[in-house]
Amino acid sequence: MWRDLHPIGRDKDTTGYRRYAWTAADADCREWFKEQATARGLTYELDRNGNQWAWLGDPTAANAVVTGSHLDSVPDGGAFDGPLGVVSSFAALDELRSREAEFTRPLAIVNFGDEEGARFGLACVGSRLTAGVLTREAAYGLTDGDGVTLPRAMERAGYDPEAIGPDPERLARIGAFVELHVEQGRALDLSGDPVGIASSIWPHGRWRFDFRGEANHAGTTRLADRRDPMLPYAETVLAARREARLAGAVATFGKIAVEPNGVNAIPSLVRGWLDSRAADQDALDTTVTAIEKAAHDYARAHGVDVSLTRESFTPIVDFDHALRDELTRILGKETDPPLRVPVLGTGAGHDAGILASSVPTAMLFVRNPTGVSHSPAEFAAEDDCLAGVRALADVLEGLACT
């Protein structure tokens, strides 16, 4: 499976992946998914929000067990964030078939569309639409960096944007969702375990800061006469680090847009996007409020205006305790001596976090020896990936088979 998936959307220079929603690379990933489904005799289905499903058993029956992840990437992302969950799902099904497992519940493998939000700025668009936490109107307003709207991009890719919207009937048929994912930190490396179970996802959000000053000549404008928005922006970046450290949170300015973006022009606009996350809501609120105050103070000192827009927010997700315990029980039982399966929280967002408000949901993490993610250097060893597949197969067997 990897052999066919690896080359899709991979940049030759950076070796990172550029698989953005509704682009040619995304279409190739979708084609790959469809081929995997068809080759296994599964019933292939594209839902109203562009998520792909591969069904073993009746797609309209109740109490389905669903597994899967996403195939899109961040800019220059790694090979595992998303794809490991989808590849492992197909591999786990192959494993169950070789065990001649008898299914008592329908099983589906899903590829959620636009998980990373790399193109339209909002993460988990496919699952948010399905869960009804992103309205159709709001989705229609999403625009990429070239001014192409989401519905237009879908249309260009051959999909019907008219159809998008909440899908409660589909969610009501799902009895459990389990997403396997490469770990995006080093907890498993430090504990020495190949596989872990997720406890929670930290609350997290994205905020856009617009610093507006005055464009002017870089050579002839006296320093005292400038209204340069780059200065309060730079100070705000430093404040973000300081405030996050004080509150025990994380805060990142990873994306910036400058106008007019000329080497010899003082900027008129500096737009910076803040991503901030923390283990609890209070720490996150404290951090973002302090960064906002710093931005206003620095902007005022430089004669610059600043405005702040919250572009997305996901509250804390506490994964289903009963399902979590069930996973621990299944994984502990299947091996001798029992597999030690740590339970860990994460600062990364996932479709599982969106589904968790409507469906009993759990996650498995596979060890990442460096913890590096959202980078071409992201890695998981083959043995650990196989341990992940076996764990997922055990879980699916425990949930969906006699």
Measured from the CB atom, the residue of 116 and 228 that comes closer to ligand GLV is: 116
351 binds ligand GLV (CB under 6 A): no
Fill in the amino acid letter for 171. Answer: L
d(CA 376, CA 14): 7
Binding ligand GLV (rule: CB under 6 A), the pick from 123, 237, 266, 392 is: 123
Q: Scanning residues 219 to 248, which ones bind ligand GLV (CB under 6 A)?
A: none
Instruction: Find out whether 94 and 107 touch, Cβ atoms under 8 Å.
Output: no
Task: Rank residues 142 and 182 by Cβ distance to Mn ion and give the closer one.
Answer: 182
Q: Residue 231: which of Mn ion, ligand GLV, none does it interact with, CB under 5 to 8 A by kind?
A: none
Options 291, 348, 363, 392; binder of ligand GLV; rule CB under 6 A:
348
Q: How far is the CB of 119 from ligand GLV (least distance, A)?
A: 14
Report the residue number, 204 or 302, with the smaller CB distance to Mn ion: 204
- Which residue lies nearer to ligand GLV by CB, 106 or 113? 113
Q: How far is CA 382 from CA 68, 72, 367, 372, in A?
A: 19, 21, 10, 16
- 93 binding partner (options ligand GLV, Mn ion, none; Cβ < 5 to 8 Å by kind): none
Look up residue 87 and give its DSSP letter.
H
Q: Are 154 and 51 in contact, with CB atoms under 8 Å apart? A: no
Nearest approach, Cβ of 352 to Mn ion (angstroms)?
Answer: 9
Q: Is 349 in the site for ligand GLV (CB under 6 A)?
A: yes
How many residues interact with ligand GLV (rule CB under 6 A)? 4
- Helix orientation angle between 83-98 and 382-400, rounded to the nearest 10 degrees: 60
**CA separation, residue 73 to residues 14, 312, 365 (Å):** 14, 18, 18
166: partner contacted, choices ligand GLV, Mn ion, none (Cβ within 5-8 A by kind): none
Residues near Mn ion (CB under 5 A) are 81-82
**Is 203 within 8 Å of 356 (Cβ atoms)?**
no
d(CA 85, CA 178): 10
Alpha-carbon gap, residue 217 to 264, rounded angstroms: 7
Quick one: tokens of 355? Answer: 């589904």
Task: Please pick, from the candidates 26, 47, 114, 116, the single residue that binds ligand GLV as defined by CB under 6 A.
Answer: 116
Closer CB to Mn ion, 82 or 388, in the complex: 82
The two beta strands, 204-212 and 305-314, are antiparallel
**Residue with smaller CB distance to ligand GLV, 116 or 144:** 116
Q: What residues make contact with ligand GLV under the rule CB under 6 A? A: 116, 123, 348-349
